[in-house]
Amino acid sequence: MVKRKRFMAYLATVLLLIASVLFTACGVGDDVKKDTSLTNKPIEITDVTGRTVTLKKPAERVVLQWSGAGGPFFTIAALMGKDTPKVIAGMDTSLQQYRADMWNHFVAEMPELAKIPEVGTVGDKTFNVEQVISLNPDVIFIPVDLKEQYESDAKPKLDAAGVETIYIDYHAEELDKHQKSIEAIGKALGKEERAEEIKKFYTDHLTKVLDRVKTINKPKPTVYIEVGMGGPQEFGNSFSANYSWGKLATMAGGDVITKEAIKKSAPINPEFVLEKNPDVIMIMGSYWPKKPTSMRLGFEANEQQSQALLKAFTTERQGWSQLKAVGNKRVYSANHGLPREVFDVAVFEYLAKVFYPEEFTDVDPEATLKEFYDKFLPFTYGGIWFMHMN
């Protein structure tokens, strides 16, 4: 009887092993995400500069820079969801300082973000290399605009401590650099398939805009763009055709009036705007609580107040009530924190729709931004991000 029981147990074990082999061979479970987080193979990552970085396993602790604009924060959030605070070992404070409405909204929904150590910023002498090393990160993500300063001040020490550096670039506003940045961050975190989904969303929306703009055969509208931080009484930065909003507007089919008058970004002479008399005026807003007359858009904006703030630029500035754009009701605003991010395709859509409303009647930039939040980000969508002056 004992021998029979042993034989039956042995037979059951054999049958279980055979079933397991057949189960795997038949492909059951092929729908499981094949991210590198499920393998033990070394991960090779090529960043936007062409450097190859090798990780033994997906990064579990990362440090980031420029969280407020052009950094990896939103990509990490889109990749990691509710686990975002767990993977960020340290970060700068630009999201808190310059996008306070976003930060407040995110912390209210994800309080753990407020506990992430602050490590300062490369380039303004606040970056604390020793603190970063003490946090024991696997990777630090550096926007390529910081590369020279970072390699001079911090990288040698971080290299010696075994912290890998991955460069990203959302500031160039070039499709391939956005794609490579998404890929690099996704691969480093072991979220390759999720990164592909994000990249496809971005690519599909952007190419639709740019391809359509190329087919439009009519004069380009002349455009004046200003960051409305100082309110009507103070002219804020405008842009060349190759930088920031100027480049975005140019790619979306606009003719930026300051394209040759400004090298990168700077305020323009008030008389210049009156002389050029643009077809379109755009005053970009954000959340600058210390500037009560500044243009306000974002999570903490409301329609009535923001409309009044935008209108003040046209009524309080000398000569503006006579401008073509004002008379034709072509005065607009967009949130200054939207460009240079993984979701800034909504900005391209908005600019193209402002410049060519008839050709882009089927495009809804706000719906695109909301869709990105709903699909990828662990935060709820809300607030006002685009505005047409009544």
pLDDT of residue 25: 39
The reply to whether domains 36-206 and 218-388 share a CATH topology is yes
CB 58 within 8 A of CB 51: no
**Global pTM?**
0.88
The percent of residues in the chain predicted with pLDDT above 90, rounded, is 88
pLDDT band at residue 85 using 50, 70 and 90 as cut-offs:
very high
Average pLDDT of the segment spanning 264-268: 96
pLDDT score for 36: 52
pLDDT above 50 for 273: yes
pLDDT for the residue 41: 82
Under 8 Å between Cβ of 239 and 171: no
Region 124-144 average pLDDT? 97
pLDDT at 20 over 90: no
Q: What's residue 38's pLDDT? A: 54
Could you report the per-residue pLDDT of 193-233, keeping only the tens digit for each? 999 999 999 999 999 999 999 999 999 999 999 999 999 99
218-388 is classed CATH 3.30.930.10? no
pLDDT digits (tens, 9 = 90+) for 36-79: 555 568 999 999 999 999 999 999 999 999 999 999 999 999 99
Q: Is the pLDDT of residue 311 over 60?
A: yes
Q: What does residue 85 show for φ and ψ, rounded to 5 degrees? A: -65, -25
In sequence order, the β-bridge partners of residue 313 are none
pLDDT score for 288: 94
Residue % of the chain over a pLDDT of 70: 90
| pLDDT at residue 320 greater than cutoff 70 | yes
pLDDT value of residue 123: 85
**Can you tell me the distance from the alpha carbon of 203 to that of 186, in angstroms, rounded to the nearest whole number?**
16
Q: How confident is the model at residue 13, as a pLDDT?
A: 44
Please report the pLDDT score of residue 32 as a whole number: 33
pLDDT at 125: 85
Contacts 24+ apart (CB under 8 A), 163-166: 163/63, 163/132, 163/133, 163/137, 163/138, 163/139, 164/53, 164/55, 164/59, 164/138, 164/139, 164/140, 165/53, 165/139, 165/140, 166/45, 166/47, 166/53, 166/139, 166/140, 166/141, 166/142
Tokens (6 digits) for 117: 């150590």
Average pLDDT over residues 313-318: 98
Q: Mention the CATH class of domain 36-206.
A: alpha beta
Give the pLDDT of residue 39. Answer: 56
Residue 292 has pLDDT above 80, yes or no: yes
pLDDT score recorded for residue 35: 57
pLDDT value of residue 180: 98
Residue 264: pLDDT above 60? yes
pLDDT, mean of residues 349-371: 98
pLDDT 10s digits, 151-202: 998 999 999 999 999 999 999 999 999 999 999 999 999 999 999 999 999 9
- Parse the chain into domains and list their residue ranges: 36-206, 218-388
Half-sphere exposure of 389 (CA within 13 A, CB side): 25
pLDDT score at 361: 97
